[in-house]
């Protein structure tokens, strides 16, 4: 029994050493707080707005938008807030990506977020008032949805988490945009053209269909035919009885019947309008498409001055958007920018709202990047492939659409300062920027005239422009700015629709632009002398980027070649027209079209949603002076983990308690987090808890924890005593883990950081025996406590049933340099690399220095990943008999595990040939080295990452080779480097085999492997299992 206790304690203790509470993570990218935002707040009747001084003026206007949206949505939902909801604004998207309100990384495609813990809306100002208003209206729909789903008395009956995304997001889009939306209509025309209109079931079960667009289209149909009240009732009932039943209760028909109705309405509305138009695949000379170049997203095309090359952005690398240079005639890739994963100059390329620009000589290319929490203009030298220059503008954190002047001396760009966009010109020689405009109107997508005297910009300025008093927004138009006089002249060929993406012809006599004046987004040419407009394209879908305002067209400054992106088949392809092909046909007049209206078109300008969108004054408060407050950083309760409680008094085991509860706190900005957890499982001795704190408010993140955690396990045995009485004995051993730890982390970028950590750790022990003897007079219960081993002589230790080991402890202080530029697939990293260099001195029961060098690389050749890893872990100066001084090759959750040598797979009676069990003992030592290689093939996944499109249970097939070696201080590892199988010496252990990794519901990754361990020939190949992502 004493040996069983020792073995069991040894195994449990190894587990605890590996999983004791820590604050650091081995790997992972960094979310960096580059800037220090001094937040303040003010209140309106229904919201509390958080901002920092830079964005004060724009947020004051946004607060009026918020109150107007509250009036609109409260009427729609027939609901009022009982307390103010927090809305947190950042001055631009570069600042927004640093927020701690939302955990994890925020991509460029995220315009705003509404979270459930404090029901906070957090979003950036966009620089365009109409777009900021739209995003805010969208997010406040989610506020009402959460208010319904999480309110007291409702949340237990309302299954918000089970509602499909198309309903939740589509509803937010419909209630904030309405049914007149040329961009969503373009998506529906594309689906109708391909006969790929989804049913309700398709959207609910598949991620193929973008929930914002298709959800908006479906709900516009429901609102138009059955009334806008049906939209909110569908949500309210769907959370209680399920969406399928809610359709019947709300509109009287099934989801299947509605799907048929909707598809028929889409076809009847759009197919006739497309009959006389050009099919997207005949939009011009095809240059880039999924079939031609391998990427479904071919965005922001920019043609070189001589028309020979195209710079464009694409996801063809799968894991990120990158910049490519292609031959404009063949689409063949000429050059690719170094991956943003490994490029030390920037974190990401701005791709949704920005295109790049060629230098006049065609030798350099300017584009916008995210760097250290701001935007910069990077100058890429195409001959050397290097980033030659980086341009930042003080006080202007967000930049877009750089445009090189014809003389090559200046670069114009749109910049956002304080949430407001303006036009700037940067002088390359003096390295100074000059602000050209300074007002609340938008200034986007600058383009130089060939003589360099005029810049065309997209704006909402001019006659009939945006009214900032009533917050009535004008369609975008083009403004021609004379740089010498500073005068603005407005160019608005059409009464309706957007006018974006201006580009001058080589002779400066024409201006190309993109407009959706008739509901179709097409290219037009405006003759500046004749003041006449000509239609260049006439597509069934549209000339478009990711959003309605994304840049999508470019004109070669020397030969007038036009290149542009076309939306088709759910992706974006690039086409080209020669100058003589792009002259276009004269447009006599602008006639409003039904093409921008989502069916049913008979319901246009009717209903609650359309009425409030046409009424800017109702609910809009007057501008007023606000009372600002310094940000209150107090911690407030986010949630309580569902408690479970059980108590026992008396009985065989005495008094006891079981259950647990956790309290989680944070401040409003999410910068400071506190977790308090208590748990019990057994007697009162088994009550433990942990308090953990983390502060991420500054670039240097720090935190700490205090923990007391008891781990209880028992070993039962039974038999008869010398009197023939049946005896049951329950041996219980507890290991107490007590920790006080701290950590600090300083990120150099999103991929590199320095960690410092340290603290005190102690392991204590407690052993008890509960004996139950069954006698004729009842059950006799006896409890005994084991003596301390240190209080017994060696001879006494051999005779007692058990003894408690002395506790042991250590102080440690470590330093680690961590890099992670990997891209994770479904079950393991698929591209990039990781490394960790760590040194940790430890002092206490044993004194030693732990060193770790761990390097991993992943080479992706679609669809296969070749992964290699090398690791050295050593504890120098310690006692090899101490558990803390050891490294292990046989424990699945230790850093050096070699598959096929899991301790659980050993039959010690069969495999041990000597008293020390050398075949097992060679798997641990004070130092280990480990190498591994894998070939990873995603079998089930998505279309982009998987041989079969089955994202519900992602599966990765793996072929692996593992090798490891353990040795102790004084051993010569070089003499051990020999491949022998039938030996018990310390030699490298090697295994090979296949494995399969599964991702279960996005939460659990587990691996089943079949390993052949060469140094265990008697064992042979066998199965194993571990709950871990791939390394």
Residue-wise pLDDT for 243-270, tens only, equals 999 999 999 999 999 999 999 999 999 9
Q: What is the pLDDT at residue 347?
A: 83
> For residue 476, with 0-12 CB atoms within 10 Å meaning exposed, 13-18 middle and 19 or more buried, which class applies?
buried
Rounded distance between C-alpha atoms, residue 267 and residue 193, angstroms: 9
Could you give the 3-state DSSP secondary structure of residue 371?
Answer: strand
Q: What is the pLDDT at residue 716?
A: 77
Which pLDDT tens digit goes with each residue over 417-439?
999 999 999 999 999 999 999 99
pLDDT more than 70, % of the chain: 94
Question: Which value, to the nearest 10 degrees, does the dihedral of the CA atoms of residues 911, 913, 917, 920 take?
Answer: -40
- Under the banding of pLDDT at 50, 70 and 90, the label for residue 942 is confident
Q: What is the pLDDT at residue 652?
A: 42
Phi first, then psi: give them for residue 586, nearest 5 degrees: -60, 135
User: Residue 330 is encoded by which pair of tokens?
Assistant: 């063949």
| C-beta of residue 756 within 8 angstroms of C-beta of residue 815 | yes
How crowded is the C-beta side of 508, counted as CA atoms within 13 Å? 11
Average pLDDT over all residues of the chain: 91
Model confidence at 648: pLDDT above 90: no
Q: What is the pLDDT at residue 339?
A: 64
| C-beta of residue 24 within 8 angstroms of C-beta of residue 755 | yes
How crowded is the C-beta side of 362, counted as CA atoms within 13 Å? 12
**What is the average per-residue pLDDT within 653-666?**
74
Q: What is the pLDDT at residue 705?
A: 96
Vertex 214, ends 212 and 216: CA angle to 5°? 65
- Under the banding of pLDDT at 50, 70 and 90, the label for residue 684 is confident
Q: What is the pLDDT at residue 5?
A: 45
**What is the average per-residue pLDDT within 669-684?**
90
Model confidence at 800: pLDDT above 80: no
User: Residue 320 is encoded by which pair of tokens?
Assistant: 């990120």
Q: What is the pLDDT at residue 19?
A: 44
Rounded distance between C-alpha atoms, residue 683 and residue 649, angstroms: 10
Cα maximum dimension of the chain? 118
- Under the banding of pLDDT at 50, 70 and 90, the label for residue 643 is confident
Rounded distance between C-alpha atoms, residue 499 and residue 478, angstroms: 6
User: Residue 131 is encoded by which pair of tokens?
Assistant: 């777009």
Among 50-54, 874-878, 1023-1027, the minimum mean pLDDT is found in 874-878
Three-class SS of 552-607: CEEECCCCCCEEEEEEECCEEEEEEECHHHHCCEECCCCCCCHHHECCCHHHCCCH
**What is the average per-residue pLDDT within 885-907?**
88
Q: What is the pLDDT at residue 22?
A: 45
Length of the chain: 1031
Residue the block writes with tokens 């918020």: 66
Model confidence at 378: pLDDT above 70: yes
Model confidence at 23: pLDDT above 70: no
Which pLDDT tens digit goes with each residue over 744-767?
999 999 999 999 999 999 999 888
The single-letter DSSP state of residue 187 is H
Multiple choice CATH, 280-582+593-599, 1.10.4080.10, 2.60.40.10, 2.120.10.30, 3.90.600.10: 2.120.10.30
Q: What is the pLDDT at residue 345?
A: 62
**What is the average per-residue pLDDT within 193-204?**
96
Q: What is the pLDDT at residue 340?
A: 56
Rounded distance between C-alpha atoms, residue 217 and residue 178, angstroms: 9
Domain with CATH 2.40.160.50 in the chain: 821-1031
Higher pLDDT, 933 or 775: 933
Rounded distance between C-alpha atoms, residue 1029 and residue 826, angstroms: 9
The distance in angstroms from the start CA to the end CA of the chain is: 38
Rounded distance between C-alpha atoms, residue 506 and residue 451, angstroms: 10
Model confidence at 651: pLDDT above 50: no
**What is the average per-residue pLDDT within 666-675?**
97
Which pLDDT tens digit goes with each residue over 716-750?
778 887 788 888 878 888 889 999 999 999 999 99
Model confidence at 18: pLDDT above 60: no
- Under the banding of pLDDT at 50, 70 and 90, the label for residue 604 is low
- Under the banding of pLDDT at 50, 70 and 90, the label for residue 342 is low
Could you give the 3-state DSSP secondary structure of residue 1031?
Answer: coil
Nearby residues of 875 by Cβ (< 8 Å), 6 or more positions away: 848, 849, 850, 851, 884, 885, 886, 887, 926, 927
**What is the average per-residue pLDDT within 544-559?**
97
Rounded distance between C-alpha atoms, residue 324 and residue 336, angstroms: 5
Is the backbone peptide bond immediately before 100 cis, with ω within 30 degrees of 0?
no
- CA 30 vs. chain centroid, Å, equals 12
**What is the average per-residue pLDDT within 514-532?**
97
**What is the average per-residue pLDDT within 912-919?**
79
Higher pLDDT, 568 or 912: 568
Q: What is the pLDDT at residue 795?
A: 76
**What is the average per-residue pLDDT within 527-549?**
97
Q: What is the pLDDT at residue 723?
A: 80
- Under the banding of pLDDT at 50, 70 and 90, the label for residue 156 is low
Model confidence at 96: pLDDT above 90: yes
821-1031: CATH architecture:
Beta Barrel (2.40)
Q: What is the pLDDT at residue 791?
A: 81
> For residue 373, with 0-12 CB atoms within 10 Å meaning exposed, 13-18 middle and 19 or more buried, which class applies?
middle
Domain with CATH 2.120.10.30 in the chain: 280-582+593-599
- Under the banding of pLDDT at 50, 70 and 90, the label for residue 694 is very high
Which pLDDT tens digit goes with each residue over 849-890?
999 999 999 999 989 999 999 999 999 987 766 777 888 898
Vertex 615, ends 612 and 617: CA angle to 5°? 120
Three-class SS of 968-1001: CCCCCHHHHCCCCCCCCCCCCEEEEEEEEEEEEC
């Amino acid at each position: 029994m004493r040996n069983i206790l020792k073995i069991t304690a040894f195994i449990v203790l190894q587990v605890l050493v590996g999983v004791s509470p820590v604050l650091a993570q081995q790997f992972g990218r960094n979310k960096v707080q580059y800037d220090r935002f001094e937040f303040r707040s003010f209140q309106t009747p229904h919201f509390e707005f958080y901002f920092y001084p830079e964005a004060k003026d724009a947020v004051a206007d946004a607060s009026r938008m918020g109150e107007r949206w509250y009036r609109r949505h409260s009427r729609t939902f027939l609901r009022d807030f009982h307390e103010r909801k927090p809305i947190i604004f950042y001055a631009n998207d570069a600042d927004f990506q640093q927020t701690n309100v939302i955990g994890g990384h925020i991509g460029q495609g995220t315009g705003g977020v509404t979270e459930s813990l404090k029901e906070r809306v957090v979003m950036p100002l966009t620089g365009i008032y109409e777009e900021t208003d739209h995003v805010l209206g969208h997010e406040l729909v989610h506020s009402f949805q959460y208010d319904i789903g999480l309110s007291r008395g409702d949340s237990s009956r309302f299954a918000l988490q089970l509602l499909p995304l198309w309903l939740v997001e589509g509803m937010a889009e419909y209630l904030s945009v309405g049914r007149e939306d040329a961009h969503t209509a373009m998506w529906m025309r594309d689906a109708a053209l391909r006969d790929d209109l989804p049913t309700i079931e398709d959207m609910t079960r598949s991620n193929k269909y973008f929930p914002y667009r298709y959800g908006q289209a479906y709900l516009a149909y429901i609102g138009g035919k059955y009334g806008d009240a049906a939209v909110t009732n569908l949500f309210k009932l769907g959370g209680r009885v399920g969406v399928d039943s809610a359709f019947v209760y709300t509109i009287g028909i099934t989801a299947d019947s509605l799907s048929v109705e909707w598809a028929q309405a889409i076809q009847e509305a759009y197919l006739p309008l497309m009959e006389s138009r050009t099919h997207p695949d005949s939009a011009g000379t095809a240059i880039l498409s999924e079939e031609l170049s391998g990427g479904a997203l071919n965005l922001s095309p920019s043609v070189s001055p001589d028309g020979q090359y195209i710079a464009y952005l694409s996801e063809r690398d799968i894991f990120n958007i990158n910049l490519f240079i292609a031959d404009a005639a063949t689409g063949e890739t000429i050059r690719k920018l170094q991956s943003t994963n490994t490029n030390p100059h920037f974190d990401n390329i701005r791709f949704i709202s920005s295109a790049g620009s060629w230098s006049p000589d065609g030798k350099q290319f300017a584009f916008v990047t995210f760097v250290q929490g701001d935007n910069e203009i990077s100058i890429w030298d195409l001959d050397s492939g290097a980033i030659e220059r980086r341009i930042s503008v003080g006080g202007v954190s967000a930049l877009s659409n750089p445009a090189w002047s014809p003389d090559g001396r200046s670069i114009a760009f749109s910049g956002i300062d304080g949430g407001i966009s303006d036009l700037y010109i940067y002088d390359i020689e003096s390295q100074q920027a000059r602000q050209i405009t300074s007002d609340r109107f938008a200034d986007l997508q600058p383009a130089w005239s060939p003589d360099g005297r005029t810049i065309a910009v997209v704006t909402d300025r001019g006659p009939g422009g945006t009214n900032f008093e009533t917050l009535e927004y004008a369609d975008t138009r083009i403004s021609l700015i004379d740089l010498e006089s500073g005068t603005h002249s407005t160019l608005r060929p059409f009464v309706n629709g957007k006018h974006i993406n201006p580009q001058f012809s080589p002779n400066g006599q024409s201006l190309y632009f993109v407009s959706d004046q008739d509901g179709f987004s097409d290219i037009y040419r405006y003759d500046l002398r004749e003041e006449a407009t000509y239609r260049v394209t006439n597509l069934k879908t549209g000339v478009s980027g990711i959003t309605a305002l994304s840049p999508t067209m470019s004109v070669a400054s020397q030969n007038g070649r036009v290149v542009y992106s076309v939306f088709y088949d759910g992706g974006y392809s690039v086409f080209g027209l020669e100058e003589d092909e792009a002259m276009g046909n004269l447009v006599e007049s602008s006639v409003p079209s039904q093409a921008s209206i989502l069916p049913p078109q008979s319901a246009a300008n009717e209903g609650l949603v359309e009425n409030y969108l046409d009424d800017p004054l109702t609910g809009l408060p007057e501008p007023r002076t606000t009372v600002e407050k310094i940000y209150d950083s107090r911690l407030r309760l986010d949630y309580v983990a569902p408690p479970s409680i059980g108590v026992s008094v008396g009985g065989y085991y005495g008094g006891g308690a079981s259950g647990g509860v956790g309290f989680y706190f944070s401040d409003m900005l999410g910068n400071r987090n506190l977790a308090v957890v208590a748990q019990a499982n057994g007697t009162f001795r088994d009550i433990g808890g942990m308090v953990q704190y983390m502060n991420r408010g500054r670039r240097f993140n720090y935190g700490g924890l205090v923990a007391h955690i008891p781990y209880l396990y028992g070993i039962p045995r039974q038999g008869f005593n010398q009197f023939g009485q049946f005896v049951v004995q329950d041996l219980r051993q507890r290991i107490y883990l007590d920790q006080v730890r701290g950590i600090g982390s300083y990120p150099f970028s999103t991929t590199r950081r320095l960690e410092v950590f340290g603290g005190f750790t102690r392991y204590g022990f407690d052993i008890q025996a509960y004996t139950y003897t069954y006698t004729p007079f009842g059950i006799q219960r006896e409890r005994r406590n084991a003596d301390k081993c240190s209080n017994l002589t060696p001879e006494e230790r051999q005779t007692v049933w058990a003894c408690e080991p002395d506790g042991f402890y250590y102080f440690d202080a470590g330093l680690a340099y961590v890099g992670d530029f990997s891209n994770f697939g479904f079950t393991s990293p698929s591209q990039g690399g990781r490394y960790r260099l760590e040194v940790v001195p430890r002092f206490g029961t044993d004194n030693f220095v732990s060193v770790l060098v761990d390097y991993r690389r992943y080479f992706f050749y679609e669809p296969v990943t070749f992964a290699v890893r090398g690791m050295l872990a050593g504890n120098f100066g310690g006692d090899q008999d101490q558990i803390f001084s050891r490294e292990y090759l046989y424990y699945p959750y230790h850093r050096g595990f070699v598959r096929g040598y899991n301790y659980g797979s050993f039959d010690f009676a069969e495999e041990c040939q000597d008293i020390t069990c050398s075949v097992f003992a060679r798997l641990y030592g004070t130092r280990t080295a480990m190498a591994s290689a894998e070939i990873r093939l995603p079998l089930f996944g998505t279309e982009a990452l998987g041989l079969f499109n089955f994202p519900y249970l992602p599966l990765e097939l793996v072929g692996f080779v593992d090798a490891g070696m353990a040795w102790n201080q004084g051993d010569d590892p070089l003499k051990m480097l020999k491949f022998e199988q039938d030996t018990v010496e310390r030699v490298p252990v090697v295994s090979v085999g296949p494995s399969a990794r599964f991702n279960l519901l996005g939460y659990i990754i587990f691996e089943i492997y079949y390993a052949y361990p060469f140094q265990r020939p008697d064992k042979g190949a066998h199965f194993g299992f571990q709950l871990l992502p791939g390394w």
